[in-house]
Amino acid sequence: MAAVPAVEGLSGTKPAWRGGFGRLWTAAVVSRFGDALRTAALPLLAVTLTSDPFLIALVTACGYVPWILFGLLGGALADRVDQRRAMWAVDLVRAALVAAFAVAVGTGHASLPLLMALAFVLTALGTLFDNAATALLPSLVPSAALGSANARVMTGQQIAGSFLAAPLVPVLLAVSLAAPYGVDAASYVLAAALVASLRPTAPERAARKPGATLRAEVAEGLRAMWADRVLRGLCVATTVCNIGMGALIATLVLDVTGWLGAGQSGYAATVTAYGAGSAAGGLLARPLVRRLGRIRSVLLAGAVQAGCLVAIGSVRALGATVAAMALFGVLGMVWNVNLATLVQERAPAAMLGRVSAAFRTVAVAGAPLGALMGGAAAGAWGLNTPALLASGLFLAAVAALIPARAA
């Protein structure tokens, strides 16, 4: 099991923009820009096809289910194949699918089953792409620069999705209902070309045992993660946090428009504040790690986020909720950057795809459970109570991670 250096990468080495990392960063940001256009446009298209809330929700659900079904398998495949080739090949397939969908929309042949199938297949392909991307990054930057590299990638993606793509959706829809999907397809092609041009250092991999199965390799990766105290603690904490996030996200619109009475404009302000905070959090992650270390930074982030949730659920003022969501976004990015970096630092190189897949699969599985819990709490005790429930879950996550501090 690879161990984190004693200084936990606190030297703060920055990745060089020229060369492989710059191209990978650009590919990630371009791809997120296109994805944000599509994910914002799909619900708007869905409501033109049906007024049934359950059917509209099914379109979103189809974007989560593949991670639960195939996430661990995607991680195992990412450890077996050439990660660079897997990424650009997946992006070209996704480009073809989205382009075909754009044609269907443009010619009036879009349907709800087609929307659901597209969401399902794109996410299923994404299980391989995302795990391969996580495993590829350490071969492009020095280990001491992983934290800074993750922060830059996540911050760039957040800015591209929240501040560039979101305002452009109405403009593209005014041109054509198919326009967002055409741009998304083009973004996949560009991202594939950038990834194909990379020349990473191939990770050292032990020869597979004769007759080794994907199932056995998935189990091997899970055992390796569970044997490491830090990764085990992070897995438990992330699971609990994502249950809380599911409860919050599913009911936030009810909290803001109902309990606060702030209407759609208040909800838009709240969501925007969260996006702005997340982008700012990428800038805070590196200096915070230099002062506290990775584990303590995660502990602090979780504790402050719990306080933000208390404010959201107890202070009946839009200004307080907007400020709390902005700070919540800042600390959420700190958590995510350090989580990704710790996984990359501690997981064996040959198992990195499988370990990262375990985290992603758990995260997606926790969110729907939290959404159900949040809906039940809102109906039983009031529209503000899911935020308070989430606060308790975040505190429980912090407590679960405390033993890992001494590792």
- pLDDT for 101: 95
Pairwise CA distance, residues 45 & 48, whole Å:
5
Residue 329's contacts (CB-CB under 8 Å, 6 or more residues apart) are 273, 274, 275, 276, 277, 278, 279, 280, 281
Look up residue 92 and give its two tokens. 């070209």
In the structure, what pLDDT confidence band is assigned to residue 201 with cuts at 50, 70 and 90?
A: low
Q: Are 400 and 273 in contact (CB under 8 A)?
A: no
Which is more confident, 163 or 91? 91
Which is more confident, 250 or 92? 92
Does 307 have pLDDT greater than 70? yes
CA–CA distance from 302 to each of 281, 295, 310, 322, 336 (Å)? 13, 11, 13, 18, 11
Pairwise CA distance, residues 26 & 33, whole Å:
10
Pairwise CA distance, residues 30 & 190, whole Å:
8
The predicted model scores a pTM of 0.76
Domains and CATH numbers, the chain: 20-199 (1.20.1250.20), 216-406 (1.20.1250.20)
In the structure, what pLDDT confidence band is assigned to residue 205 with cuts at 50, 70 and 90?
A: low
Handedness of CA 16, 17, 19, 23 (dihedral sign): positive
Does 204 have pLDDT greater than 60? no
- pLDDT for 138: 86
- pLDDT for 207: 52
How large is the C-alpha radius of gyration of the chain? 21
What is the identity of the amino acid at 332? G
Please report which helix (H) or strand (E) contains residue 200, including its range. Answer: none
Q: Are 309 and 244 in contact (CB under 8 A)?
A: yes
- pLDDT for 97: 96
- pLDDT for 163: 81
Residue pLDDT, tens place only, 221-234: 788 888 888 888 99
Residue pLDDT, tens place only, 2-22: 333 333 333 457 777 776 888
Residue pLDDT, tens place only, 109-150: 999 899 889 988 998 888 888 888 888 888 888 888 888 888
Q: CA angle, 61 as apex, 191 and 278 as ends, to 5°?
A: 55
- pLDDT for 170: 82
Residue 193's contacts (CB-CB under 8 Å, 6 or more residues apart) are 88
Does 23 have pLDDT greater than 80? yes
Pairwise CA distance, residues 196 & 180, whole Å:
24
> Please, is 168 exposed, middle or buried when counting C-beta atoms within 10 Å of its C-beta (0-12, 13-18, 19+)?
middle
In the structure, what pLDDT confidence band is assigned to residue 57 with cuts at 50, 70 and 90?
A: low
Q: What is the mean pLDDT of residues 385-391?
A: 94
**Least confident range of 28-42, 54-68, 287-301:** 54-68
Pairwise CA distance, residues 121 & 189, whole Å:
17
